[in-house]
């Protein structure tokens, strides 16, 4: 489908108010697809191993997308797609995408459930940092993680110590500065060509994003560019503007979606179907070649609660068994940075999603999030856990997660507070000062080895 | 059908979100001689409380809760005029004006809070997304709100929450309303720094906060 025709759907589709789209169109269609295709969560299961169920979730997602479409709130119209158009988008999904420059140029390849193939390791996160020194040190620290294939750059929401508002000139200044600092941090780590896959994570206005992606500042067409859906099945002009711009640049696009457990998606079954539908819709509407699959528990604000582990990993399976899309699962954890809880949660999550065909994306705190909480020591360990999860079968992962889950479950509703960069590192040198974090990490390593995770002792 | 059976029917209709059934059972129980206030206290309030419990227990979710709330409201639209005709008024915990602040178009967290507040007995005026600070204040004045609740998911839209507090102060109305802030980009520290009266990490916490603020505002339910 030509882009112009695609965008015209936002201006020509059926008119309806947003609440009617959600409650009269999306919700009934989601319920009936779950019922018709017999999609049921066995609450004793953390990681599904039933290929038939994964394929039914995929079928339900295709049916949902065809029946419901995607809502454009700027025009109050529904963008509708035929089964043939959806099938063409699935068939056209590229199996491989090239990222990065020079020595850091690599190929991201779609994985399959139970695959032994090494997953791509994406480290960091779009969390806020308070000043440029911490920003630079954080990027340098993340890029220095040997296993890292790409980084997610942090967010710098301040200009001269003052907040940068959405759509303001200061937002452009902050975004441009963040891009320049990111590239600088990568050079300091000796990996100038390392790709940034979350360009640009927290920018609200398309104009800001376009300004900051000028190559003069350090972004490249070999980086990855994000386009978000809004919950649920909503994409406005801001998102479509980005599609128009990034496809013109020839830059790889990632679709991002956060279906909410407990929200309009309903329970675990609805989240699994909707998360899968978003990945297909991302390919169709955003021309995405990889996806950040990030369903979230609406009350706990985590991805590591039991229904989320099942739904997120099942959506990974539904996609990777039926189309060659690379998936990263954004990990919002309960535990704050540097805590035992956060490591245990990461292990459970990565075992679930990597064994289900996903790649590795290291995590960060959700409800316990705080400024300056991106700690390279955490992400280095998480990368190691993620690599150890490759080759673990879904059945093995289910067994391991069943052991790990009770170790952190009680902390989901009352998260352990974490540490900040200055509490853990010397900002003038970037050296670790909080040696107790190494002790916590090694204790968790021992616990994970006992469970069967194939890690090796380092200290 | 006996009154007890009709009460059970009303409760079940609310928890299952069946509008026509609740209307039929409500009219029948009134015809049996039960007072409108008794219907609310014996059937509707326990039913909507049960819906809230089921939501927290993850036995039902937002769409089902919305259907239950609509069913509850349908019955109230039958009962409320009868109570008012008798010179009474329906109890309300407080009045909240809420929306997502200017520059931010994320709605689902705000939608969940609106529904939870309604089921908790608040009168809610939802202004939607991308709401200008002056619109929060003018709506609060128009409806006699107790609380203004401002949501922001994006860090870059946080300052719009501060603008609401500032507009109130500039207009000399800061003491007229309690201001709650929330959303993914917010924190207790942020709420304190802008002089907000309340903050909660989740929609569930925000309902408790609204109850406390409403009580502190001296709201007396009749």
How many C-beta atoms lie closer than 10 Å to residue A123's C-beta? 29
CA distance B90 to B195: 33
Q: Which residues of A135-146 are buried (b: 16+ CB within 10 A; e: fewer)?
A: bbbbbbbbbbbe
Name A85's Cβ contacts closer than 8 Å, sequence gap at least 6.
A1, A284
CA distance A253 to A199: 9
- Residue A106 bridge partners (DSSP): A99
pLDDT at A137: 97
Q: What's the pTM?
A: 0.90
CB-CB neighbors (< 8 A) of B107 in chain A: 230-231
Chain B residues in contact with A155 by the CB 8 A cut-off are 155
How many Å lie between the alpha carbon of B155 and the closest alpha carbon of chain A?
7
Residue B21: is its pLDDT beyond 60?
yes
What is the Cα–Cα distance from B161 to B181, expressed in whole angstroms?
7
CA distance A258 to A278: 9
Q: What is the pLDDT of residue A117?
A: 95
Q: Are A459 and A442 in contact (CB under 8 A)?
A: yes
For residue A168, CA distances in Å to A174, A239, A240, A407, B184 come to 10, 18, 20, 45, 20
Cβ atoms of A65 and A30 within 8 Å: the answer is no
Q: For residues A332 and A389, what is the distance between their CA atoms, to the nearest angstrom?
A: 18
Paired residues of A96 in beta bridges: A109
Helix (H) or strand (E) holding B147, with range, is strand B147-151
Q: Which residues of A touch B62 (CB under 8 A)?
A: 260, 262-264, 266, 298
Q: How far apart are CA A112 and CA A321, in angstroms?
A: 6
Cβ of B108 and A203 within 8 Å?
A: no
- Looking at residue B163, its pLDDT comes to 95
pLDDT in the model for residue A458: 53
What distance in Å separates residue B2's CA from the closest CA in chain A? 34
pLDDT at residue B221, rounded to an integer: 39
Nearest to A204 by CA among B205, B154, B100: B154
Residues near A233 by Cβ (< 8 Å), separated by ≥ 6? A21, A26, A68, A69, A70, A71, A274, A277, A278, A281
Judge whether B63 is closer than 8 Å to chain A, CB to CB: yes
Rounded (10°) CA dihedral A166, A171, A174, A176: 120
DSSP string over A133-154: HHHHHHHHHHHT-TT-SEEE--
Torsion of CA B9, B10, B11, B12, to 10 degrees: 50
Residue A307: its chain B contacts at CB < 8 A? 58
- A204/B108 touch (CB, cutoff 8 Å), yes or no: no
At residue B217, the pLDDT reads 67
Interacting residues of B99 by C-beta distance below 8 A, sequence separation 6+: B110, B126, B127, B128, B129, B131, B135, B136, B149, B150, B151
Element housing A292 (H / E)? strand A290-293
A165–B160: do the CB atoms touch at under 8 Å?
A: yes
Do β-strands A70-72 and A121-124 pair in parallel, antiparallel, or remain unpaired? unpaired
Q: What are phi and psi of A231, to 5 degrees?
A: -75, 130
Give CA–CA dist A56/A50, Å, rounded.
Answer: 10
- Specify whether the CB–CB gap between B74 and B47 falls below 8 A: no
Q: What is the pLDDT of residue A201?
A: 66
Q: Model ipTM? A: 0.85
Q: Look at B61 and A203 and tell me if their CB atoms are within 8 Å.
A: no
Measured between alpha carbons, how far is A23 from A26 in angstroms, rounded to an integer?
6
Do the strands B147-151 and B94-100 form a parallel or antiparallel pair, or are they unpaired? parallel
The predicted structure's pLDDT at residue A459: 43
Per-residue pLDDT of chain A (459 residues; tens, 9 = 90+): 889 999 999 999 999 999 999 999 999 999 999 999 999 999 999 999 999 999 999 999 999 999 999 999 999 999 999 999 999 999 999 999 999 999 999 999 999 999 999 999 999 998 889 999 999 999 999 999 999 999 999 988 888 888 888 888 888 888 899 999 999 999 999 999 999 998 776 677 888 888 888 888 888 999 999 999 998 999 999 999 999 999 998 899 999 999 999 999 999 999 999 999 999 999 999 999 999 998 999 888 899 999 999 999 999 999 999 999 999 999 999 999 999 999 999 999 999 999 999 999 999 888 777 889 999 999 999 999 999 999 899 999 999 999 999 999 999 988 888 999 999 999 999 999 999 999 999 999 999 999 999 987 554
Best CA proximity match to A202, nearest among A144, A132, A128: A128
Q: Distances from the Cα of A87 to the Cαs of A29, A59, A291, A322, in angstroms? A: 19, 11, 18, 11
Query: What residues in B contact A163, CB-CB < 8 Å?
Result: 155-156, 158-159
Q: What distance in Å separates the CA atoms of residue A99 and residue A439, rounded to the nearest whole number?
A: 35
Instruction: State pLDDT tens for residues B168-221.
Output: 999 999 999 999 999 887 888 899 999 999 999 888 889 999 999 988 765 443
Under an 8 A CB cutoff, do A164 and B103 touch? no
Higher confidence at residue A119 or residue B158? A119
Decide if B106 and A128 are in contact by the 8 Å CB cutoff: no
CB-CB under 8 Å, A370 with B201: no
The answer to whether A62 and A86 are in contact (CB under 8 A) is yes
Residue A362 CA: distances (Å) to CA of A354, A430, B171? 12, 20, 47
Residues 6+ apart with CB under 8 A from A18: A71, A73, A76, A234
CA-nearest of A344, A379, A369, A362 to A420 is A369
Rounded Cα distance, A310 and A261, in Å: 12
The β-bridge relationship of strands A425-426 and A431-432 is antiparallel
């Amino acid at each position: 489908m030509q882009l112009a025709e695609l965008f015209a759907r936002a201006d020509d589709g059926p008119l309806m108010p947003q609440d009617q789209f959600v409650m009269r169109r999306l919700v009934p269609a989601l319920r009936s697809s779950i019922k018709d295709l017999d999609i049921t969560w066995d609450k004793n299961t953390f990681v599904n191993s039933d290929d038939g169920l994964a394929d039914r979730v995929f079928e339900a997602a295709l049916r949902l997308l065809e029946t419901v479409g995607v809502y454009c709130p700027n025009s109050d119209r529904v963008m509708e797609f035929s089964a043939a158009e959806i099938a063409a988008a699935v068939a056209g999904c590229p199996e491989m995408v090239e990222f990065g420059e020079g020595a850091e140029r690599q190929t991201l390849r779609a994985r399959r459930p139970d695959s032994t193939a090494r997953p791509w390791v994406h480290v960091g996160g779009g969390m806020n940092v308070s000043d440029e020194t911490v920003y630079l040190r954080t990027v340098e620290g993340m890029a220095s993680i040997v296993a890292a294939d790409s980084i997610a750059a942090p967010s710098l929401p301040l200009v001269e110590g003052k907040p940068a508002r959405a759509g303001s000139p200061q937002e452009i200044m902050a975004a441009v500065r963040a891009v320049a600092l990111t590239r600088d941090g990568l050079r300091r780590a000796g990996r100038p060509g390392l790709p940034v896959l979350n360009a640009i994570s927290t920018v609200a206005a398309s104009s800001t994003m376009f300004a900051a992606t000028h190559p003069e500042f350090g972004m490249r067409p070999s980086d990855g560019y994000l386009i978000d859906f809004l919950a649920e099945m909503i994409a406005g002009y801001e998102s479509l503007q980005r599609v128009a711009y990034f496809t013109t640049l020839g830059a790889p696009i990632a679709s991002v979606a956060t279906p909410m457990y407990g929200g309009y998606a309903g329970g675990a079954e609805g989240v699994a179907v909707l998360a899968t539908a978003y990945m297909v819709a991302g390919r169709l509407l955003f021309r995405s070649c990889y996806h950040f699959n990030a369903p979230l528990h609406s009350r706990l604000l985590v991805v590591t609660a039991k229904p989320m582990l099942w739904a997120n990993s099942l959506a990974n399976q539904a996609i990777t068994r039926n189309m060659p899309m690379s998936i990263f699962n954004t990990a919002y954890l309960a535990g704050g940075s540097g805590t035992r809880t956060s490591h245990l949660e990461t292990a459970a999550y990565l075992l679930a999603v990597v064994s289900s065909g996903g790649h590795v994306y290291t995590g960060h705190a959700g409800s316990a999030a705080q400024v300056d909480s991106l700690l390279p020591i955490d992400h280095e360990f998480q990368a190691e856990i993620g690599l150890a999860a490759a080759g673990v079968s879904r059945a093995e992962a289910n067994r391991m997660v069943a052991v790990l889950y009770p170790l952190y479950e009680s902390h989901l509703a009352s998260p352990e507070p974490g540490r900040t960069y200055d509490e853990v590192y010397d900002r003038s040198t970037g050296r670790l000062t909080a040696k107790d974090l190494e002790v916590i990490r090694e204790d968790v390593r021992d616990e994970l080895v006992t469970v069967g995770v194939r890690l090796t002792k380092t200290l | 059908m006996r009154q007890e059976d009709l009460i059970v029917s009303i409760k079940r209709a609310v928890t299952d979100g069946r509008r026509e059934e609740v209307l039929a059972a409500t009219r029948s129980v009134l015809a049996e001689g039960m007072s409108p206030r008794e219907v609310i206290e014996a059937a509707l309030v326990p039913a909507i409380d049960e819906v809230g419990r089921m939501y927290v227990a993850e036995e039902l979710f937002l769409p089902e809760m919305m259907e239950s709330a609509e069913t509850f409201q349908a019955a109230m639209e039958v009962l409320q005029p009868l109570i008012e005709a008798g010179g009474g008024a329906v109890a309300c915990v407080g009045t909240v004006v809420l929306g997502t602040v200017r520059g931010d178009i994320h709605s689902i967290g705000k939608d969940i809070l609106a529904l939870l507040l309604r089921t908790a007995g608040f009168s809610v005026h939802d202004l939607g997304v991308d709401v200008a600070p002056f619109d929060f204040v003018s709506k609060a004045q128009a409806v006699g709100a107790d609380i203004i609740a401002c949501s922001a998911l994006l860090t870059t839209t946080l300052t719009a929450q501060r603008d609401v507090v500032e507009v109130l102060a500039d207009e000399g109305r800061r003491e007229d309303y309690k201001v709650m802030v929330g959303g993914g980009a917010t924190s207790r520290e942020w709420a304190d720094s802008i002089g907000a009266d309340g903050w909660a990490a989740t929609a569930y916490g925000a309902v408790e906060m609204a109850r406390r603020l409403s009580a502190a505002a001296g709201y007396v339910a009749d």
